[in-house]
């Protein structure tokens, strides 16, 4: 069988770190083959197809990239149910003073 690449070879091809390749593979973002708990390989043809998808810009969803062109893994949502609640709340001074601690 031929056409299998190491994480290091894929990292060199994509000009990213080996850690990035392994993280993308673990998350399912990059197609990979897990040979054992410590060995992972990548099909050359699958990596080429993955690159070609990104060359064409075929993301499939509107809003799938950052303003500078980097991919955003989950896209952007305008659904308020997915919004992160604010941790900042307004502080209102008590009536009759500004509560600065002075006399």
At residue 56 the predicted structure's pLDDT band, cuts being 50, 70 and 90, is: confident
Contacts from 27-31 at CB under 8 Å and sequence distance 24+?
A: 27/73, 29/73
The pLDDT tens digits of the residues spanning 25-54 come to: 999 999 999 999 889 999 999 999 999 999
> Does 65 have pLDDT greater than 80?
no
Query: What is the count of structural domains for the chain?
Result: 1
Supply the CATH number for residue 42's domain.
Answer: 1.10.10.10
Q: What is the domain extent for residue 54?
A: 1-59
Strand boundaries in 7-62, DSSP class E: 33-34, 40-43
Token pair of 21 as six digits: 């390749």
Position 75 in a domain: no
């Amino acid at each position: 069988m031929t056409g299998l690449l190491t994480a290091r070879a894929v990292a060199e091809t994509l000009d990213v770190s080996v850690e990035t390749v392994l993280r993308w593979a673990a998350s399912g973002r990059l197609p990979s083959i897990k040979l054992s708990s410590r060995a992972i390989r990548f099909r050359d043809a699958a990596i080429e197809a993955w690159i070609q998808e990104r060359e064409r810009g075929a993301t499939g969803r509107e809003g799938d990239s950052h303003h500078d062109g980097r991919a955003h893994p989950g896209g952007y949502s305008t659904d308020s149910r997915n919004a992160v609640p604010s941790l900042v709340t307004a502080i209102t001074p008590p009536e009759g003073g500004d509560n600065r601690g002075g006399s």
